[in-house]
Chains A and B, each alone.
Chain A
Amino acid sequence: MIRRFIEKSVEKIFAACGMITTITILLIIIFLFKEGFGLFNSPEVEKGYALCVNAANPIDYISSPDVKKIYNSVITNWSELTEYDEKIVLFRDDNKDIFDFYKEEELGDSFEEIEANIPKKVLELIANTPGMLAFVHEENLQKNIEGVKVLDKGMVNPNDFFFGREWIPTSTPAPQFGILPLILGTLWVSLVAILIATPLGIGVAIYLSELAQSKVRDILKPAIELLAGIPSVVYGFFGLVVLVPMVQKTLGLPVGETAFTASVILAIMALPTIITVAEDAIRSAPRSMREASLALGATHWQTIYKVVIPYAASGISAAVVLGIGRAIGETMVALMVTGNAAVIPTTLFAPVRTIPATIAAELGEAPGGGVHYQALFVLGCVLFLITLVISITAELISKRQHNKGL
């Protein structure tokens, strides 16, 4: 009786442990989305700050990309944004720029007095300058100030986020959260990596499964296992001290940290995955098919590429897809050798920036719960979805291979 009870309860415990991976995945999804969820309800302007204009200005809201254009002097007149013909006068930071507009004596006699006077003077300045756009501390804005209008805070726009071409998350007052260059950078680097790794990996897989003698296999197999076991940070370090200078010198580039450099390292890292999975697929080709082909007078090589490879095609594609997954998610190598420039890639031989590298480089500095922090979590969600699609694709493909085996 007691024994049966124990048996039953132990089985329950085992069953609970069996659910642990499911629970972990659910927790990851919940927390990733929970932390990133607020992004599209967050004001773009940094917390505690506000954009103000003269009350005569009819404008109520300026989008973040427009604010950036104003600060970069691409837009210089209000008429480009609204019906208000006035030259834009910029006021950035109330404690430094103020001296461009007032002399020290005008502000006060002692340091303390100046400090105390600044908020008032800033507001006066806005009220007296028709074309002013000021970026000020929210605490300095008392309610209902004559002549000053506080602009509405825009929310981060999903369209700007997913299709924006600029990622400058820390610029004030108008951070740019466009993740398109990061997505393209990630795909670019992984795609090239897989183009390098696929022929190599399949070749080695064929060699291992069809040609190599068992003595050679005893050397090659552990070597491939070791290649898989080397920590990614060591690959990154190797890339940094060996490949980066090499690429820079042989190709005569200004910097050696390029998409190409990262792709080469990622290709090496994806090799073990591709080789192992592709070898299994090639091995699964039934003996009868090979023998039939040989009996018809085909050479060993003809048998391999006309019979064995077509048979193993879906297994080999699964191997390639898994390799892509490995390359897309890789963080340390991307962080150390891509050069981390958030631009839309146009060439192989220039720095790029990937999603994992962006998260790794910036999360430590992003204040918890802020817009930047949330943006990085949404970026994490995007990466998560990409890898999920890849792993499901690989699973479906390899299922096809299994069905063929029956």
Chain B
Amino acid sequence: MSKKLSQDIAFWTFRILGWLVVGILLWILGFIIYNGIGVINWEFISQGPRDGMLKGGIFPAILGTFCLIVGSMIIAFPLGVMSAIYTNEYVRDGKISRFIRMMTNNLGSIPSIIFGLFGMALFVRYLGWKGSILAGSFTLGLLVLPLVIRTTEEALRMVPDALRVGSYALGASKLQTIRYVILPTAFPNVITGLILSVGRVSGETAPILFTGAAYFLANLPSSIFDKFMALPYHLYVISTSGTNLDAARPIAYGTALVLITLVLIINFTASFIRKYFSKKHGAH
């Protein structure tokens, strides 16, 4: 075989593989959109399930997912950002920062079901919060912590050192430099990381299985100590358990579509913010 021919074969294979990945993505998205679009209407989004989960909407699940997003971000965002500031601004390349980075990576590689077990043991049983929005939010908050830290660190690293040095030269202290120079510059990228974490939280199922997700609730939760319904858990139960799986399929497709749409919006927003601000930054 000539060199040219083997190169052509190899390159065409890679090209096909590359487009295969796009094909898989389009297949999954297309399948869910095609089957789910007919189910979506105002009633589906604004009302609770009726008639043994076979009719009605998924509003409680949307609300529950929203509560989990807010709750987990209240926990993960400040902690994660401050942790990233510490490693990137205070102990930049020392042993401590290397240790923290290693631990963050390790935490990020722990499977989500382990977080579920942990949340059950610590929040639900040991601290006695029972299955609740509070327990679910804490579990998810700790789960996304590594993601928040990693994206924030990247954002901080992209701030040029010249800005730091310039700020010090003007007599600003370290804290002032962080507050008035570094954070405002890194802000768009920090927000991008935050949005990506929201995407992660909204799709996680395993950590909330035992920390308060409910199959069906007659009333909307009224406090953070109540159980909750959530989109991913709803999709799971409605597609695997129940007396009449076939009749529940439309609801499952609708739920999957809402979940996918949420993730798509989050991803597009994140990449829009990243692009918009990097252009603006480049113009300076």
- A in complex with B: yes
- Could you tell me which A residues sit within 8 Å of B by CB distance? 3, 6-7, 10-11, 13-15, 17-22, 24-25, 27-28, 31-32, 34-35, 200, 203-204, 206-208, 211-212, 216, 219-220, 222-227, 229-238, 240-242, 268, 271, 275, 299-302, 304-305, 322, 325, 328-332, 335-336, 356, 359-360, 363-364, 368, 376-377, 380, 383-384, 387-388, 390-391, 394-395
Q: Which residues on A sit within 8 Å (CB–CB) of B29?
A: 226
B126: nearest residue on chain A (CB-CB)?
A: A31
Bound together, the chains give a CA A177 to CA B250 distance in angstroms of 39
Bound together, the chains give a CA A332 to CA B210 distance in angstroms of 14
Q: Shortest distance in angstroms between A211's beta carbon and chain B's nearest beta carbon?
A: 6
Bound together, the chains give a CA A316 to CA B10 distance in angstroms of 18
Bound together, the chains give a CA A75 to CA B22 distance in angstroms of 58
Bound together, the chains give a CA A12 to CA B154 distance in angstroms of 22
The 6 residue pairs across chains A and B that have the minimum distance between CB atoms = A329-B111, A231-B203, A301-B7, A17-B82, A18-B86, A391-B109
Q: Is there an interface contact between B232 and A231, defined as CB atoms closer than 8 Å?
A: yes
Q: A220-B22, A391-B106 are in contact. Are A329 and B267 (CB under 8 A)?
A: no
Bound together, the chains give a CA A18 to CA B90 distance in angstroms of 10
Q: Can you list 27 A-B pairs with a CB-CB distance of less than 8 A?
A: A11-B86, A11-B90, A11-B174, A21-B100, A21-B104, A25-B103, A27-B118, A27-B122, A31-B122, A32-B117, A35-B117, A204-B17, A216-B18, A226-B267, A231-B203, A231-B263, A234-B28, A236-B236, A238-B32, A241-B252, A271-B21, A301-B10, A329-B111, A331-B206, A332-B232, A360-B209, A387-B114
Q: Which residues on A sit within 8 Å (CB–CB) of B173?
A: 3, 7
CB of B151 within 8 Å of the partner chain: no
Q: Is there an interface contact between B203 and A331, defined as CB atoms closer than 8 Å?
A: no
In the complex, which residues 166-216 of chain B have their Cβ closer than 8 Å to any Cβ of chain A? 173-175, 199, 202-206, 209-210
Q: Is there an interface contact between B256 and A234, defined as CB atoms closer than 8 Å?
A: yes
In the complex, which residues 240-263 of chain B have their Cβ closer than 8 Å to any Cβ of chain A? 240, 249, 252, 256, 259-260, 263
Q: Which residues on A sit within 8 Å (CB–CB) of B4?
A: 299
Q: Is there an interface contact between B117 and A212, defined as CB atoms closer than 8 Å?
A: no
Q: Is there an interface contact between B125 and A368, defined as CB atoms closer than 8 Å?
A: yes
Q: Is there an interface contact between B205 and A364, defined as CB atoms closer than 8 Å?
A: no
Q: Shortest distance in angstroms between A83's beta carbon and chain B's nearest beta carbon?
A: 45
Q: Is there an interface contact between A336 and B259, defined as CB atoms closer than 8 Å?
A: no
Q: Is there an interface contact between A207 and B17, defined as CB atoms closer than 8 Å?
A: yes
CB of B278 within 8 Å of the partner chain: no
Q: Which residues on B sit within 8 Å (CB–CB) of A14?
A: 82-83, 85-86, 90
Bound together, the chains give a CA A356 to CA B87 distance in angstroms of 33
Q: A3-B173, A15-B86 are in contact. Are A219 and B22 (CB under 8 A)?
A: yes
Say which residue of B106, B125, B232 sits within 8 Å of A25 (CB atoms): B106
Q: Is there an interface contact between B83 and A233, defined as CB atoms closer than 8 Å?
A: no
Q: Is there an interface contact between A230 and B28, defined as CB atoms closer than 8 Å?
A: yes
CB of B67 within 8 Å of the partner chain: no
Say which residue of B100, B142, B205 sits within 8 Å of A18 (CB atoms): B100
Say which residue of A242, A305, A360, A384 sits within 8 Å of B31 (CB atoms): A242
Inter-chain CB contacts under 8 Å: number: 246
Q: Which residues on B sit within 8 Å (CB–CB) of A229?
A: 199, 203, 263, 266-267
Q: Is there an interface contact between B25 and A227, defined as CB atoms closer than 8 Å?
A: yes
Bound together, the chains give a CA A302 to CA B10 distance in angstroms of 10
Q: Which residues on B sit within 8 Å (CB–CB) of A24?
A: 107, 142, 145
Scoring A208, A229, A300, A377 by chain B CB atoms within 10 A of each residue's CB, the highest score goes to A229
Bound together, the chains give a CA A38 to CA B106 distance in angstroms of 26
Say which residue of A10, A230, A275, A368 sits within 8 Å of B260 (CB atoms): A230
B236: nearest residue on chain A (CB-CB)?
A: A233
In the complex, which residues 80-112 of chain B have their Cβ closer than 8 Å to any Cβ of chain A? 82-83, 85-87, 90-91, 96, 99-100, 102-107, 109-112
Q: Is there an interface contact between B145 and A20, defined as CB atoms closer than 8 Å?
A: yes
Say which residue of A325, A356, A359 sits within 8 Å of B109 (CB atoms): A325
Q: Which residues on B sit within 8 Å (CB–CB) of A364?
A: 209-210
Q: Is there an interface contact between A22 and B263, defined as CB atoms closer than 8 Å?
A: no
Given contacts A28-B118, A233-B205, 16 further A-B contacts (CB under 8 A): A10-B175, A20-B83, A20-B145, A21-B146, A24-B145, A34-B121, A203-B17, A226-B263, A230-B260, A231-B259, A238-B31, A301-B10, A302-B3, A329-B113, A363-B210, A384-B114
